[in-house]
Amino acid sequence: MADKLKDTGTLGFLEAAVKISHTSPDIPAEVQLSMKDHVMRHARIQRQTTEPASSTRHISFKRHLPRQMHVSSVDYGMDLPPAAEQPTSIGRIKPELYKQKSVDSEDPKKEAEKTCGKINFALKYDYENETLIVQILKAFDLPAKDFCGSSDPYVKIYLLPDRKRKFQTRVHRKTLNPTFDESFHFPVPYEELPSRKLHLSVFDFDRFSRHDMIGEVILENLFEASDLSRETSIWKDIQYATTESVDLGEIMFSLCYLPTAGRLTLTVIKCRNLKAMDITGYSDPYVKVSLLCDGRRLKKKKTTIKKNTLNPTYNEAIIFDIPPENMDQVSLLISVMDYDRVGHNEIIGVCRVGINAEGLGRDHWNEMLAYPRKPIAHWHPLVEVKKSFKEWQGRAASFDSQGSCPSPKPPPTP
């Protein structure tokens, strides 16, 4: 008799559970209370097992995040957990069926790169005359720049870092697939070719206004396809650009941090292919390193001046004392300057390393922190100071003025 009652009670409980899953309104009150307690206990256990404990070093970071709705604060009421759902797809919403590829979500710059076309050119080195021969053959699928749906393209050719010597093809009228077939000769010793870059800028000619730039191609390695002993044909995608990119040169330096001593050492090794700033075609470069904390300059140090050169060698160490707990707040601004005895010194280009830097500057910094007490050296391209200074000002304004760093005078406006 007891077993029969037990079976009857079990069946009644299961029937009530089935009714709950179908959201039936005729459910006894005691069954609702027992099922709600069971569901809430199960949900609390599930949340405790799936939500890891937050690290204490992330608490301050989370304070800056916007307030969000936490799952633990939601009252599920009489809803069952996902595991108790019936294995049926009827009436269930599947978000993946409603996902659409949005054209607007794509990067417009990448989209423009796809529509800039291709260019075909050939390279060969004349060993007898020590001349690099660049032959512009043709272009294909150029974008239309005129109202008539066509363009009037031509190509400018540079052998960087020298921008004084440049060549230009003839203008081809009303075509998106021009055939140039023109050759140009750059006198250059063979041993200098590894340090040279080929720069092709494609323009659309306009008789009554400024010529529109279609795009550019920069061949970093002239020996990419062959040793240049014979004529080699190369196809390259034309990269989107609105203005000609200026090659300011590169700087090599190493970073080393000693956590026990709290000492950061930046060793300026050398620079190459710097932009000529003087009438003589050379520069008098030196390197200035500024220590920044939350966008404010704390200290600055500089190297010696190297006269009349675009490829100076320094091998000079610059040391800053920084406690380990402040390493996430600081960054270094490296400026390559041109010394001028009469007027003011000019900035050739800058680069930045730190936890808030971009690209190679951030990667170099993280690699230094990952390998303490070991010098890590990299080449860094120099960029224009205007772009870097705007970024610097924007980051400084975003920080709280009540930070842990002192408030020295701001950097001079370039």
pLDDT single digits (tens) 75-110: 444 444 444 444 454 555 555 555 444 433 344 444
Q: What is the mean pLDDT of residues 377-405?
A: 59
Q: What integer pLDDT is reported at residue 405 of this predicted model?
A: 55
Q: Report all structural domains of the chain as residue ranges with CATH numbers, in order of start.
A: 117-240 (2.60.40.150), 249-396 (2.60.40.150)
Model confidence at 263, pLDDT cuts 50, 70, 90, reads very high
d(CA 364, CA 371): 11
Q: CA angle 301-318-256, nearest 5°?
A: 140
| pLDDT recorded at residue 252 | 95
pLDDT band at 160 (very low <50, low <70, confident <90, very high): confident
Pick from 291-300, 386-395, 400-409 the range whose average pLDDT is largest.
Answer: 291-300
**Strand arrangement, sheet containing 118-126:** 179-187, 131-140, 118-126, 232-237
Q: Which residues contact 223 (CB under 8 A, 6 or more apart)?
A: 193, 194
- pTM more than 0.75: no
pLDDT digits over 335-374, tens only? 999 998 887 899 999 999 998 888 899 999 999 999 999 9
pLDDT tens digits for range 218-233: 898 888 878 888 888 9
Find the distance separating the first CA and the last CA of the chain, reported in whole Å.
96
Output the pLDDT for position 358: 85
